[in-house]
Amino acid sequence: MTKNNNTLLALTAFSIALNIIVFNYFSIALFIFSIFLWWDYSKKYKAIKNLKIEIIPEYKSAFKKEGFYLAVKIKNVEKTKINVKISPASKVMSVTPKKVDLELEPEEEKEYRFRMYFNTSGEHHYGNTFITLLNNYFLYEINREVENNQSIKILHDYSKVEFDKEEIKRLLPERKSKYNILEDTTYIDKIDEYNGEPMNRIHWKATAKMDKLMVKKFNYTSTGKIYMFTDLNISKKSPINNLIWKDLRNIYENYAIKASLGLIKLFCERKESLNVTINAKKIKKLKGNNLEMYFNEFSDVQGEMSSENDLDSLMLEEIPYMTVEDTVIIISQFLDENSLPEIIKVKSSSAKVIVFLIPQGFKEVWESDADVYTTFRKEMKDLEKSARILEENNIIVRLVSFNDTLIEVFQSV
């Protein structure tokens, strides 16, 4: 609790001095008025001190720039009417309204909801709530700071990724398998005559058309996994480890995470076996289909320049666990020519390797093309030529421009 009653003190001192110098009805009235103000001040101070305040966030987590509400519930337990001004969260810049005036009758409870959002991902604290009471005559001010240690996890947004079945098959692990272990009921291989199969295999439309029982025959799916490597660092050995690429890396990081989460969301919804490695300041290795876990883990990742962490070594660590039915997806800003032999080694242990290079970002499906004309830096143009070596080894490489959408790039695979 803090207070500013200097003006009230000055008024009281003036009224006392006035009564000493000139004792009249006016000086007496002023002195009585100052006594009344002190009485009012003491009641208001007690009311502010005893306010019952509860701060209730709407969510425990939200996406970047996603609006949500923070409710402040306040109860006046005293028998004094007060007017207060509430500032809800000292550490939140984007909050509407910034402040609100509330009138509280004796023993009245009110709740006000403030709308807010965050522009950056990670763990964010709301900060303390401030309650202010200002006298109608501006003679005193009473402030109360309410401690609030609550926080919210702000998640990265993601790029929406949608494909039809054929486009999905190009990215996912090999669908057909020579080992008749697990049928893939999402893809019908052919329709054949009934030969004792279960009734749920009967294709009723084909049966009606052929006038005899026909059944669905499915492909046998592989049990392949998806290995995804998201590289947010620029290695200290990289030819782009310079100041020119520093700003580009910061831009790339946001797009790389959006692309990764878009793909991860797609794979998790399809219940694919997924292994994700994030090369950042802190290396993270994740697996499973828990989409919430991936969003939480990506929310606080951050890459760096001149990194000691090496994507090549991370890929080589996973080779012993790969099979010839697995798909490897690499998302990076730059592919060092020294990495080509390592990627070829990964390809020799898997079914397919797909490399997406995102030097400057990409376009969302709802965005229009940029009006300005720009080109990739020379390093990326040279790399595009060397990527043909990878293509000759059945490794797919796509260089993503900021006027490409992810879906357009994936469809070109």
pLDDT tens digits for 40-63? 999 999 999 999 999 999 999 999
The pLDDT tens digits of the residues spanning 166-211 come to 444 455 555 444 434 344 455 566 777 877 777 777 877 778 877 8
User: Which pLDDT does position 136 carry in this prediction?
Assistant: 81
- CATH 3.40.50 intervals, the chain: 226-411
Q: Which residues, listed in sequence order, are joined to residue 117 by a DSSP beta bridge?
A: 94
Amino acid at 109: E
**What pLDDT is recorded for position 180?**
41
Sole residue written with tokens 């994030």:
278
pLDDT value for 82: 94
Q: CA-to-CA distance for 15 and 61, rounded, in angstroms?
A: 56
Choose between 161 and 222: higher pLDDT. Answer: 161
Mean of the per-residue pLDDT values of the chain: 84
The DSSP code sequence of 219-234 is EEEP---EEEEEE---
Q: What is the per-residue pLDDT across 141-157, written as a single tens digit (0 to 9) for each?
A: 999 999 999 999 999 98
The token pair that represents 173 in the structure block: 């692990």
The pLDDT value given to residue 165: 43
**Is the pLDDT reported for residue 288 higher than 80?**
yes
Closest CA to 78 of 105, 53, 49, 47: 47
Q: Are 290 and 189 in contact (CB under 8 A)?
A: no
* CA proximity to 49, closest of 2, 85, 11: 2
% pLDDT > 70, the chain:
86
Tokens of 366: 């709802």
Domain 226-411, CATH: 3.40.50
Amino acid 229: pLDDT: 96
Two tokens, residue 279: 């090369």
Question: CATH 2.60.40.10 in the chain, residues?
Answer: 2-9+47-154
The correct answer on CATH 2.60.40.10 for the domain covering 2-9+47-154 is yes
Q: What is the DSSP letter of 401?
A: P
Position 202 scores a pLDDT of 80
Pull the structure tokens for residue 392.
């000759």
Which pLDDT score is estimated for 359?
A: 81
Q: Are 363 and 402 in contact (CB under 8 A)?
A: yes
Strand-pair partners of 221: 176, 182
Cα atoms found within 13 Å of the Cα of residue 246, Cβ hemisphere only: 6
What does the H/E/C string look like for 62-119?
Answer: EECCCCEEEEEEEECCCCCCEEEEEECCCCCCEEECCCEEEEECCCCEEEEEEEEECC
Q: For the segment 332-370, what is each residue's pLDDT rounded down to a tens digit?
A: 988 877 788 899 899 989 888 888 888 878 887 677 766
- 241-274 residue pLDDT tens: 777 778 888 888 999 999 999 999 988 888 888 9
